[in-house]
Amino acid sequence: MIVFFRAVLMLTVLVGLPAAWIYYGPLPPVAQGAVDRVVEIVRDTMGWQQPSAGSSDQMTAPRYAVASAEAPSFAPPTSSLPSAAPLVAPTTSSHASLTEELQPLLEELRSMGSTKYSLEHWGQKGEFFRFCCAMPLVAQEKQLTRQFEAVAETPRASIEQVVSEVAHWKTSH
C-alpha cells in the first residue's frame, strides 16, 4: 500500500503538476502566495539564502567548445544574461606569448595521453579561465574518457591544476 501511495505521489508531482500548469496556466495570486510562503519557510529552516530579484552575480556555465589538441581554444562562452559584457579574443602578440608560456604544460598533457582540451573565459566578465581536458580511460579506446577541469584566475593556474589532477589520477590508476 505504501509503494502504491509513493507511486501515485511521484506521478502527481512529475506528470500531473506540469500538465496542470500547461493546461491551466500559472497559479492564481492567492495560491502562488501560499507556495511562495512555503518556499520561504523551507529556505529559512534550511538556512538557504534567497537570491535577489535583479541579481546577476551568479556564474553560468559556458558552452563546451571542443578544441583541437594543437592549441588552446579561446572561444568566449555564450551568455544569456543581459549584464554580461562581451568578451574579446586576445591579441595576436599576447596569444603568441601565452601559447609559448603554456606549451610545456600542454606537451605534458599530450604525453600523458590527452585526447582533447580547451581553455575558455569563465564568469560573467571573463575574469576567470576554465581549462577542460579529456583523458582516455583505456589507451586503445579514445571514445571512453574521463573529464578534468579547473577554474582559476590565470590560464596557467587552471592548466597546472588539471595537469596535477591528471598526474595524480594516472599514478593512482
CATH classification at residue 126:
3.30.160
Count of structural domains within the chain: 2
Beta strand extents in the chain (DSSP E only): 116-122, 128-138, 141-152
CB atoms within 10 A of CB 10: 11
Q: What is the pLDDT of residues 59-118, one digit of tens each?
A: 555 554 444 444 444 444 443 333 333 334 444 456 667 778 888 888 888 888 887 888
Q: Determine, yes or no, domain membership for 124.
A: yes
Q: Determine, yes or no, domain membership for 154.
A: yes
CB-based contact 69:116 (threshold 8 Å): yes
Q: Could you list the residue range(s) of the whole structural domain that residue 165 is in?
A: 92-172
- Do 96 and 168 sit in the same domain of this protein? yes
Positive or negative, the Cα torsion across 93, 98, 104, 107? Answer: negative
Query: Between 27 and 41, where is the model more confident?
Result: 41
Q: Determine, yes or no, domain membership for 65.
A: no
**Three-class DSSP category at 62:** coil
- Do 97 and 168 sit in the same domain of this protein? yes
Mean pLDDT of the chain: 74
Residue keyed to cell 589520477 = 169
